[in-house]
Amino acid sequence: MTAPTVTAAELLDALPALAPYARTATLLKPSADSPGPHRSSVGGPPLWPADEPWPRCRQPHLVYVREKLTDAEREAWQSIGRNRRERHRPGNARVLTAEEAETQSRIMDGGSLDLVTWERVRLVPRPVPGDGLPMVPVLRLHSRDAPALDWPPGTDLLQLLWCPQDHAEPEGQPRYWGPVVQLRYQASVEAVRPAGGPPVHYGAKGVYLPAPCRLEPVEVLDLPEQDELPEELYESVEQWAAERGTDYNRVLGCLPGWKAGGWPSWHLTDFTPLDCRCGARMRLLLTLDSGGDPGLNVGRYGELRVFCCPEDPGHPMRLNVQ
């Protein structure tokens, strides 16, 4: 027996109290293709206003560095190993003293050890040379494909570019680790192929370079997860879904995948509301997903979500990975 197919619209009919929480979202559904410059796309050809410089990242990048241990560090590490072996007896679970554990973590300094070369391997932020590194186009969305978004007057094109490197808590993004994102609303008539091609980002991380895809946008109703609904209402929602043999989360609400608008899922961390510096509760603008045809991998195969201020799209965005 196959599970009955139910929709968010049927759920709203059954529970009208949910209506104020319903948002129109657009599932973007990227699929491998060579998208032309004038269509919505993931990883499409570069377009930018001719009179504006191509965006660049000037934030420090995280790079792996290998550092030779000092003789003293190496001796301390080896002596801990010898002591452990001497102490090790069946039934003796305690393999490291607190002092030894402290010494090891000081030697590793947040990284790991290569015991063949006796090097410490760490990710450290490194300043970007000169004028910064060019960003790469990730998502291009025309207003005709996501009319429910709040388009600033005079714009019909939303571009998301990012720096295909890891950054630890870049400017304005506390508790975020990943590519630095640039978001721009533009007029599509002004966006043209850069003369001579866009600058090349040498040394990009492959997992942050999307394979070219066209989009097949579908408008849907999206609903929030448990923590963003009143408790009693959520209980009714869950019961309604269970009686129809389906789940609410990720099936009827917090829809997964590449998405414009809608509601975010908080499946890895607890619900973490993001507030703009103006005090407004921020809203989900875009969700970029790992895997599938674009072939990205953000935050251990997760979703990168871009939140914006509902009062003014010009206020700084916030990034979050789940």
> Under the rule (CB under 5 A), what is the footprint of Zn ion?
57, 163, 165, 180, 276, 278, 280, 309, 311, 315
Q: How far is the CB of 199 from Zn ion (least distance, A)?
A: 13
Residue placing its CB nearer to Zn ion in the complex, 26 or 165: 165
Residue placing its CB nearer to Zn ion in the complex, 230 or 316: 316
Sign, CA dihedral 265-267-271-273, equals negative
Measure CA of the first residue to CA of the last residue in the chain; give whole Å.
Answer: 33
Residue placing its CB nearer to Zn ion in the complex, 150 or 235: 150
Contact 309, 276 (CB under 8 A): yes
Residue placing its CB nearer to Zn ion in the complex, 29 or 56: 56
Q: How far is the CB of 133 from Zn ion (least distance, A)?
A: 6
Q: How far is the CB of 201 from Zn ion (least distance, A)?
A: 9
Residue placing its CB nearer to Zn ion in the complex, 113 or 309: 309
Residue placing its CB nearer to Zn ion in the complex, 135 or 241: 135
Q: How far is the CB of 46 from Zn ion (least distance, A)?
A: 17
Q: How far is the CB of 257 from Zn ion (least distance, A)?
A: 26
Q: How far is the CB of 272 from Zn ion (least distance, A)?
A: 17
Q: How far is the CB of 67 from Zn ion (least distance, A)?
A: 23
Q: How far is the CB of 79 from Zn ion (least distance, A)?
A: 41
The three state secondary structure string of the chain is CCCCCCCHHHHHHHCHHHHHHCEEEEECCEEECCCCCCCCEECCCCCEECCCCCCEECCCEEEEEEEECCHHHHHHHHHHHHHHHHHCCCCCCCCCCHHHHHHHHHHHCCCEEECCCCEEEEEEEECCCCCCEECEEEEEEEHHHCCCCCCCCCCCEEEEEEEEEEEECCCCCCCCEEEEEEEEEECHHHEECCCCCCCCCCCCCHHHCCCCEEECCEEEEECCCHHHCCHHHHHHHHHHHHHCCCCCECCCECCCCCEEECCCCCCCCCCCCCECCCCCECEEEEEEECECCCCECCCCCCEEEEEECCCCCCCCCEEEEC
Residue placing its CB nearer to Zn ion in the complex, 10 or 311: 311
Q: How far is the CB of 238 from Zn ion (least distance, A)?
A: 33
Residue placing its CB nearer to Zn ion in the complex, 74 or 315: 315
β-strand 303-308 against 112-114: which pairing, if any?
unpaired
Sign, CA dihedral 6-8-13-15, equals positive
The residues near 224 (Cβ < 8 Å, ≥ 6 apart) are 21, 253, 254, 263
Residue placing its CB nearer to Zn ion in the complex, 163 or 221: 163
